[in-house]
Chain A
Amino acid sequence: MSTDTAEQSARSGGNTFFGDVWVNFVRWNIKAVRNRFVLVGSLVQPVIFLVLFTQVFGNVAGQSLPPGIPNYETYLLPAIVIQVSLATGATSGIGLVNDIESGMFEKVLVSPMNRAAVFVGKTAAEMVRIVLQIAIILGLGVLLGAEIATGIVGVVGIMLVGILFSLWFVAFSNTLALLTKDQESTIIGANLLQFPLLFVSSAFLPISTLPGWIQTVAKFNPITYGVDAARAIMLDADVMEVWDITAFGGIWNTLVPAIGVLVALALLLGGIAVSMINRASSADVR
């Protein structure tokens, strides 16, 4: 049956890195629009936290705030923004597990696409989602009485912090997904971390009002840096309590170290995730 010429290949030159990023970016955006639960689902808990915390603890918590902060809503809102980033970071790994389960991950692995580009494209689509969700949360917060001291520039800044902050958790949840290849483990692993981490950080109350051990843990908790960066922009003030840095002046005393920590974390965990994806195969072989 073997004949003279093979069927003419339909491929053009080769895949480009940016082309591969784009293809995956488009695919994950389509999926996010189709699966409204993904967009709305990761907003539910942050919205509940925002509304309940401000209503229930607002009066009490407001009294322990440093002077110059208009209300607890304003203090809490940056923390809720970071919570949104965390929740979306967690769904990132769940998306990957779904891909593993539906066989799409293997399909991607057997294709000539650059694997880092596949990961970057998927993450970029999640960043779009984070921006949308942060916009919704900020809008809701302002409705509840929060004030953004730095105005519209601050809104953009807070979104950028939200994106930067999400990267390490996106990388973490994807690594978890690749390791466990199991939806429950990934959800539990990602969520299990989310809540305790939020509480042992500067998210809900000033660090100085918390017990000593929490102050120590908070120093090593990425959430502290994300919340501090977003809050510094929100309040237009140096809010970092875990380190006493004065070299940069004003708000930058918080932003420079916080962003430095988050970039380092993103590079470290992102590097691990990308190298895992590069080595990924469909089974563990000796």
Chain B
Amino acid sequence: MSESLAIEAENLEVVYGDGTEAVGGVSLSVPRGEFFGFLGPNGAGKTTTIKTLATLLKPTSGRIRVNGYDALEQPRKVRESIGYMAQETSVDPELTARENLRFACESYGVRKGERAERIEELLELVDLADVATKEAKEFSGGMKKRLDAATALVHRPPLVFLDEPTTGLDPKARNRLWDYFRRINDRGTTIFLTTQYLEEADQLCERLGVILDGEIVAEGSPADLKQEVGGEILNVRLEDGPEARQRAVTVAQSAGIFPGTPSVEETDDGISVTTPTARQHGTDLLVALRDEGLTVTGFDVRAPTLDDVFLAITGEHLDDEVAEPEPASPPAADGGESQ
């Protein structure tokens, strides 16, 4: 048993009372200080896994150690040493923002002398200082979410579980939280974050685990996972039908446009090329297509999404629609906004 691991789970299995197997044999190791991302579509088992690690669910079988404590035998030790932010926003609507934070401080035994300062610091952080005396029921969804995040962090735990912490937040609020997560991670806090968004994982995490149907199907750095996809995706829309698309595929695969062997597929209205150099050599393809006498009606280059990763790893699309988050501006641009 290594002391350098924040989370160590072996063969975690969770079967719900109605017989649904939510997690089937997940093993995970997260070193102290790591920013770990847990990705998967809705219903893949992310939340069940995170709740089990946070002592909220007892696994049907398997072993868990968190911060060196056995989660089944010493759940209270584990609870003292973690912060947990649930997927559903959890704040007391009848308490003010400040009272919610005070309650969190008290329930985690934050030192009396530090409470007031800690509360004000967190209120500033989540941009709720000027509404600190308002009851949370008057807050918008995003404000509640920010307050919730603050309450999970009051005791400066060495390990924080964040279950889709930025779902439903606007880009500005998301960036502020990302910034803070990075900051506490820089200071040594281990972070276990679940998300449906590859972009979020990409921005924040050092290492990712991908879960599908209760099993981990891939693990590695964001770069590794994108590697699996094979680069960026260039979509080209063509005016003409199947015959034109076939010719276009041949053009795209021909030597001299993209180095190596790009993966080219026909789409409903054109072709899709996946290659690490889609941006640099995209224009070459467009020129070549025109020289072939094909009419291009539109094109775009995009970074791979979680869906693409899944497609590459499992050969299947995500069955439910996963909306990508609104594009977030780089955090640096947000730096001056703190009051």
Contact = CB atoms under 8 A, between A and B. Distances in A.
Given A1-B186, A2-B188, A104 B109 contact: no
A2 B33 contact: yes
A8 B157 CA distance: 8
Interface stretch (B87-95, B267-275, B315-323): B87-95
B310 interface: no
Given A6-B158, A286-B15, A27 B189 contact: no
A285 B109 contact: no
A8 B156 contact: yes
Contacts of B42: none
Nearest to B87: A103
B86 interface: yes
B150 interface: no
A34 B56 contact: no
Given A14-B109, A285-B60, A34 B188 contact: no
Contact of A7 (B95, B106, B135, B158): B158
A48 B112 CA distance: 46
A110 B54 contact: yes
B57 A3 contact: no
Interface residues of B, number: 62
B188 A4 contact: yes
A20 B107 CA distance: 7
Interface stretch (B76-84, B164-172, B289-297, B331-339): B76-84
Interface in A246-286: 281-286
A1 B16 contact: no
A282 B47 CA distance: 11
B26 to A, nearest CB: 14
A146 B80 CA distance: 54
A113 interface: yes
B103 interface: yes
B155 A11 contact: yes
Contacts of A285: 14-17, 57-60
Interface in B145-200: 148, 151, 154-158, 184-190
Interface string B1-32: 00000000000001111110000000000011
Give the size range of A's interface with the partner.
35 or more
B239 interface: no
A112 B109 CA distance: 9
A107 B155 CA distance: 14
A256 B90 CA distance: 45
Nearest to A27: B103
A1 B185 contact: yes
Contacts of A110: 54-56, 79, 82, 84
Contacts of B243: none
A11 to B, nearest CB: 5
B107 A6 contact: no
A102 B103 CA distance: 15
A63 interface: no
Candidate in B59, B80, B135 with the most chain A CB atoms within 10 angstroms: B80
Interface string A1-28: 1111111111111110001100100010
Given A15-B109, A23-B107, A111-B108, A2 B34 contact: yes
Nearest to A12: B111
Interface string B94-112: 1100010001101111111
A34 B95 CA distance: 8
Given A9-B157, A9-B158, A3 B188 contact: yes
Given A104-B91, A107-B86, 15 more contacts: A3-B33, A10-B108, A11-B108, A11-B110, A11-B111, A12-B111, A19-B106, A23-B103, A31-B95, A102-B90, A103-B86, A110-B56, A281-B57, A285-B57, A285-B58
Interface of A: 1-15, 19-20, 23, 27, 30-31, 34-35, 99, 102-104, 106-113, 281-286
28 contacts: A1-B33, A1-B34, A1-B185, A2-B31, A2-B33, A3-B33, A3-B188, A6-B32, A6-B158, A7-B156, A7-B187, A7-B189, A10-B110, A13-B109, A15-B107, A30-B94, A31-B94, A34-B94, A104-B91, A107-B104, A108-B107, A109-B56, A110-B84, A111-B107, A111-B108, A281-B56, A283-B17, A286-B19
Closest 9 CB pairs of A and B: A2-B33, A103-B90, A284-B17, A6-B188, A23-B106, A12-B111, A111-B107, A112-B80, A6-B158
